[in-house]
Structure 1
Amino acid sequence: MTTATAAEAQQTAPAISDQVVLVTGGARGLGRAITEAFLREGARVVIGYNASRQAAEELAAAHPGRVVAVQADVRDRAQVEALVAAAKAAFGAPLATVVNNALVDFSFNGDGRSHAHEITYDEFSQQFSGTVEGAINVVQAALADFAELGSGRVVNVGTNLFQNPVVPYHDYTAAKAALLSLTRTFAADLGPRGIRVNMVSGGLLRTTDASAATPEAVFDAIAEGTPLRSVTTPAEFADAVLFFASPWARSATGQNLVIDGGLVKD
């Protein structure tokens, strides 16, 4: 694609209501909020799930013709290719946006995570496989669809723990840091094709499955440390994802938008 053609694609990128969107891990927690946000704006959504079959199928049943749920482990390239093919078959249109939200085999339990003196590289490797390899598989599998459409959007889900490492999530944070690097290098490499790659990063959300056991006192303490005096909700986070998927973000790529009530600065 020439530079001129890429520029034209940026100006003619589809509205969210005209898009087919893939959300990995889109059936539960933050992923579900992202799925519901896109549905609210009129998009058709492909939910990629690994273990959450029931939740994914319930969402599909609640939105007939607008949601398709497909099982895929993002670490397996063949399964991801099949996921993208199933999306195309279901909706008869190419993917316009992919959201890399899937999180593989991780427990948000600060007391239960390995500390610096005991963590093994295998723990890092597991998170890199789910977060980095998974994102690479999804983006590469979507490239043919993006080429057909003439543009594309990738939104990666990150964390504010780079700036505010208040819990010993060493493996998780390192993998997300690598995902930020991938966001910026892929943005530079894919930009001439009209593909924008961005990241939305948050902290503790009020409330998801992952934070359901968090005491109210912890939420309140975090809220007091933010300029907005509130803890970000999954719906608020999802709205920022919508921005990067929308034509309003046509000139934004390689960015990391921190959505945490102003707790930390990028």
Structure 2
Amino acid sequence: MELKDQVVLVTGASRGLGAATAKAFGEAGAKVIVNYFQNSDKAQQVVNEIGSDRAIALRADVRNPDDLQLLVEQANHHFGQPITTIVNNALIDFSFNGDDRKQLNAIEWQDYHKQLEGSVGATLNTLQAAREGMTQLQFGRIINIGTNLVQNPVVPYHDYNTSKAALLGMTRSMAKELGPDGITVNMVSGGLLLKTDASAATPDAVFDIIKANTPIGRVVTPEEVADVVVFFASPSSRAVTGQNLVVDGGLVMD
């Protein structure tokens, strides 16, 4: 299915990588659901940039299955067709600051559970809510957002890194089940991005280190990762599923 014929749900799309991804799909001609949880004003700004004729902002807590079911119903009614593509991007209450991260003597299972619920749990909710429509179409594109810290945990954010490692396992498992229905499931894993709300707490010295050690000589932007997400929804990726593509300028070579 061409991008212009797709209806794309981007979770956590009011800011950062989510906003860049929503706009990239909008530029490609897709219809876009800008999901948000708290910041309706920023979500509406993203809609305005895409165009209100092709985008809508819908609130949902991705951790809540009922919220996702309602969002899917609203989107189907608004666009007159099922959701074809999901980008599981939402990040639950996390700041990338290695100095303040919880280490082994302080971290608790609740910290792990929060991140697992926000990545694996949220992805389960979106897939269950939208699968019926994709199965009817015999077409679907699922793109999960991961991290290069799974391959190289240079900063051991124990809870976050573990949740994304689990999401990679889920990506591959779901690719196996959903493939016969024409649904592909892939992951795009960026590094620290220049610069988002989540990375705002990261000291400038860390960005300098990444720049010095990255083959392309700079820190990757949200827009550059978003372009790869769009690729996984495009016809060019139709034979690719169960894969994890690291997009960090070559810092991690997997």
Of 157-166 and 55-64, deviating more is 55-64
Find out whether 1:81 has 2:33 as its counterpart. no
Instruction: Find the aligned partners of 2:206 and 2:158 in 1 and give their Cα distance.
Output: 21
Select which of 175, 181, 198 maps to 1:187: 175
Find out whether 1:206 has 2:194 as its counterpart. yes
Find out whether 1:144 has 2:136 as its counterpart. no
Q: Count how many residue pairs are aligned between Structure 1 and Structure 2.
A: 253
Question: Are the equivalent residues in 1 in contact too, given 2:97–2:201 (CA < 8 A)?
Answer: no
SS at match of 1:111: coil
Instruction: Find the aligned partners of 2:53 and 2:78 in 1 and give their Cα distance.
Output: 9
Select which of 153, 160, 168 maps to 2:148: 160
Select which of 134, 140, 144 maps to 2:122: 134
Partner of 2:28 in structure 1? 41
Q: TM-score, normalised by structure 2?
A: 0.96
Find out whether 1:32 has 2:19 as its counterpart. yes
Partner of 1:5 in structure 2? none
Question: Are the equivalent residues in 2 in contact too, given 1:200–1:259 (CA < 8 A)?
Answer: yes
Instruction: Find the aligned partners of 1:37 and 1:221 in 2 and give their Cα distance.
Output: 29
1:117 CA drift (Å): 1.9
Select which of 65, 77, 87 maps to 2:53: 65
Question: Are the equivalent residues in 2 in contact too, given 1:96–1:152 (CA < 8 A)?
Answer: yes
Amino acid aligned to 2:190: G
Of 231-240 and 162-171, deviating more is 162-171
Q: How does 1:47-126 map to 2 (within 5 A)?
A: 47-62=34-49, 63-126=51-114
RMSD (Å), alpha carbons? 1.2
Partner of 1:172 in structure 2? 160
Find out whether 1:236 has 2:219 as its counterpart. no
Measured against aligned partners, the alpha-carbon deviations of 1:118-142 in whole angstroms (never above 9, x if no partner) come to: 2111110111111111000001111
1:213 CA drift (Å): 4.0
Question: Are the equivalent residues in 1 in contact too, given 2:97–2:202 (CA < 8 A)?
Answer: no
Measured against aligned partners, the alpha-carbon deviations of 1:53-81 in whole angstroms (never above 9, x if no partner) come to: 11112222441111111110111100000
Question: Are the equivalent residues in 2 in contact too, given 1:153–1:195 (CA < 8 A)?
Answer: yes
Question: Are the equivalent residues in 2 in contact too, given 1:25–1:48 (CA < 8 A)?
Answer: yes
1:240 CA drift (Å): 0.6
1:108 CA drift (Å): 1.8
Question: Are the equivalent residues in 2 in contact too, given 1:114–1:168 (CA < 8 A)?
Answer: no
Partner of 1:218 in structure 2? 206
SS at match of 2:152: coil
SS at match of 1:265: coil
Select which of 256, 261, 265 maps to 2:244: 256
Q: TM-score, normalised by structure 1?
A: 0.92
Question: Are the equivalent residues in 2 in contact too, given 1:226–1:262 (CA < 8 A)?
Answer: yes
Find out whether 1:15 has 2:2 as its counterpart. yes
Runs of 5+ unmatched residues, structure 1: 1-13
Instruction: Find the aligned partners of 2:46 and 2:68 in 1 and give their Cα distance.
Output: 20
Amino acid aligned to 1:71: R
Instruction: Find the aligned partners of 1:59 and 1:163 in 2 and give their Cα distance.
Output: 32
